[in-house]
Structure 1
Amino acid sequence: MRAVFGLVLIVGVALAGFAVYMAQGFIANTQAERNALMAEMAKQVDLAQVLVVKSDKAYGDTLTADDVVAIAYQKDHLPKGAFATAAALFPEGQPKTRTVLRPLDANEPILASKVTAPGEDAGLNSRLAKGMRAFTITVDVSSGVSGFLRPGDRVDVYWTGEQEGTQVSKMIDSAVKLIAVDQTADQNGDFQAQVARTVTVEASSQQVAAFALAQSTGKLTLALVGTNDDTPADAVEIDRNRLLGIEKPVVAEVAAPRVCSIRTNKGGEIVETQIPCTN
């Protein structure tokens, strides 16, 4: 019996030791998993709600509440002009539609710059900045950059006409924004070079007056400005003589001969008599 008791005691101690070992391993694994989870949670970023479109939207498409859905977006990197709620996108008391100004891909955030105000269409009035006007300039293949202009581009405007009896070409404005080419105002549509007959620019009232006068007295030509070109434009003017390197003859001014005279009263009549000038 003693041998059996001793054997049972040894087995019990062994099992207890194994249980302690397994418990320590489980606790260590649990602590490691907890630490890893806490480390991952520390890496988590703050999220915010933002509205996106459910499907692709093209220029001119109508946007309604059924076309949008809210998703979580990294708060620190929210795009400027994003909408957080349907109430912000379609305010109370205003029309419940907007019009797409730039193509939107599915799940792309809706930005204020890519849609019109509530109820507005995609017409030019929605593209004009406050205080600006739309002015149309007639162009052809030579004056319109061979058809490579598109809405959103910036151009320098040159006037060519007659001034003081000679042909002159001068830049009358720089980096003017195009808002339409012919009847197209879509900045992101399929682009194919084609010769436009008219372009519409965004201009102040003062610029409109200058363009109108310039267009009626000569020819306007456009020069495309590079996308990232922010170099200030200098005043540019050239006439035919300067273009051909012709210098105008200098005409010397000939002084008129000096005339001296005296006046005398002869019988009540004033008589003027020329005399040599002494000084």
Structure 2
Amino acid sequence: MRLVFGLVLVAGLGLAGFAVYMAQNYIGAYQSALEQERAKSVQSVPTVQIYVAERAIGYGEPITEEDVRLAHWTKSTLPEVYFDEENPLLVPGDAPRIAVRAIDKNEAIAGTKVSEPGGDAGLTSRLDRGQRAFAIKVDVASGVSGFLRPGDRVDIYWTGRIPGNDPNLPQGDVTKLIQTGVQLIAIDQEANADGSDVNIAQTVTVAASPQVVASLAQAQSTGRLSLSLMAANDDTVAEAIEVDQRSLLGITKKEQKAEAKALEVCTIRTRRGAEVLEIPIPCTN
């Protein structure tokens, strides 16, 4: 019986080992066939290396080398304009490109979604940190006859009437310099400074801090704003300027001196025996 049991055990172990061997061969053949099929599928879909976004890039952001990478992209789905090693997205020494549309992570960098080197994406890319855009209404007189261009700097004057009857305040209309060296970033709806045509603008857009924007909004709602164009290389700061009608015409205010009136003293006379007394009393009309 022991001999029979031993033979059965040996036969069982042999069958088990053979089954494991066959399973390993089958799994190995399957993996090999799968890798071959994958290789065939890669070979059947031609790809090229192009620049894709390494992160999500928002509208108006400059694109740096850390924001992009080269990746394989199928030729059949290439954008009409793309960037690769032969047509690089960023060239050393050139100004960075700006995203004119939002770009998702791992998305191909298409030519329609980025500006030319040194370009911009509109007003938002022209505002520094902490600045806001504010529109000012102008006409042919207050807008320097249409000679303003984006990028120019101007002084802003306010003309209006100060309410109240305080004799210490200026009387009539007053013109005052309220801001100096304010930069223009757009004329009407045009932010391009390359145009040579002279057009009479209806609005100009300036870049300023929130505090200056509040001052300009208050000034525009209470009076008229006029712009004075500064020279391109002018780095002076205008002093405080305020002109009213009297100073414009050279009229000085005469001070009226009140004449001191002599104090009237009224008296009544009272006789006390042989003595006559004069007693002061309040005067009546």
TM-score w.r.t. the length of structure 2 is 0.53
Is the contact made by 1:179 and 1:200 (CA closer than 8 Å) also made in structure 2?
yes
Provide the secondary structure at the position in 2 that maps to 1:65.
coil
Pairwise CA distance, 1:231:
1.0
Is the contact made by 1:63 and 1:99 (CA closer than 8 Å) also made in structure 2?
no
**C-alpha separation between the residues in 1 aligned to 2:185 and 2:91?**
34
**C-alpha separation between the residues in 1 aligned to 2:126 and 2:107?**
20
| Residue number in structure 2 paired with 1:186 | 192
* 1:195–1:92 distance in 2 versus 1, CA, 3 Å: same
Pairwise CA distance, 1:94:
7.3
Indicate whether 1:137 and 2:143 are aligned.
no
1:230 to 208, 212, 235: 235
Indicate whether 1:69 and 2:97 are aligned.
no
**C-alpha separation between the residues in 1 aligned to 2:149 and 2:235?**
19
Pairwise CA distance, 1:91:
10
Q: Percent identity?
A: 44
* 1:257–1:240 distance in 2 versus 1, CA, 3 Å: same
* 1:115–1:170 distance in 2 versus 1, CA, 3 Å: same
Is the contact made by 2:171 and 2:244 (CA closer than 8 Å) also made in structure 1?
no
Provide the secondary structure at the position in 2 that maps to 1:215.
helix
**C-alpha separation between the residues in 2 aligned to 1:152 and 1:72?**
26
2:250 to 245, 254, 262: 245
**C-alpha separation between the residues in 2 aligned to 1:132 and 1:157?**
17
TM-score w.r.t. the length of structure 1 is 0.54
Indicate whether 1:96 and 2:109 are aligned.
yes
| Residue number in structure 2 paired with 1:126 | 125
| Residue number in structure 2 paired with 1:53 | none
Q: 1:178 is aligned with what amino acid?
A: L
1:231-264 superposed Cα distances (whole Å, 9 cap, x missing partner): 121111111111111111122255687799xxxx
**C-alpha separation between the residues in 2 aligned to 1:207 and 1:94?**
40
| Residue number in structure 2 paired with 1:267 | none
RMSD: 3.6
| Residue number in structure 1 paired with 2:72 | none
* 1:72–1:232 distance in 2 versus 1, CA, 3 Å: closer
Provide the secondary structure at the position in 1 that maps to 2:200.
coil
Pairwise CA distance, 1:96:
2.7
Is the contact made by 2:83 and 2:89 (CA closer than 8 Å) also made in structure 1?
no
| Residue number in structure 1 paired with 2:119 | 115
* 1:233–1:95 distance in 2 versus 1, CA, 3 Å: farther
**C-alpha separation between the residues in 2 aligned to 1:202 and 1:177?**
6
* 1:64–1:72 distance in 2 versus 1, CA, 3 Å: closer
Is the contact made by 2:181 and 2:237 (CA closer than 8 Å) also made in structure 1?
no
1:216 to 202, 216, 221: 221
Indicate whether 1:166 and 2:172 are aligned.
yes
| Structure 2 residue runs without a partner (length 5+) | 1-79, 98-102, 163-169, 266-280
Q: 1:184 is aligned with what amino acid?
A: E
Is the contact made by 2:171 and 2:245 (CA closer than 8 Å) also made in structure 1?
no
Whichever of the two has the greater Rg, that structure is 2
Is the contact made by 2:82 and 2:108 (CA closer than 8 Å) also made in structure 1?
no
**C-alpha separation between the residues in 2 aligned to 1:94 and 1:202?**
33
* 1:63–1:225 distance in 2 versus 1, CA, 3 Å: farther
Provide the secondary structure at the position in 2 that maps to 1:159.
strand
**C-alpha separation between the residues in 2 aligned to 1:94 and 1:195?**
43
**C-alpha separation between the residues in 2 aligned to 1:63 and 1:161?**
55
**C-alpha separation between the residues in 1 aligned to 2:213 and 2:239?**
21
Pairwise CA distance, 1:165:
3.3
| Structure 1 residue runs without a partner (length 5+) | 1-61, 84-89, 105-109, 117-121, 261-272
**C-alpha separation between the residues in 2 aligned to 1:128 and 1:258?**
71
Count of residues in correspondence between the two structures: 177
Pairwise CA distance, 1:128:
1.2
Q: 1:172 is aligned with what amino acid?
A: I
Provide the secondary structure at the position in 2 that maps to 1:69.
coil
1:22-46 superposed Cα distances (whole Å, 9 cap, x missing partner): xxxxxxxxxxxxxxxxxxxxxxxxx
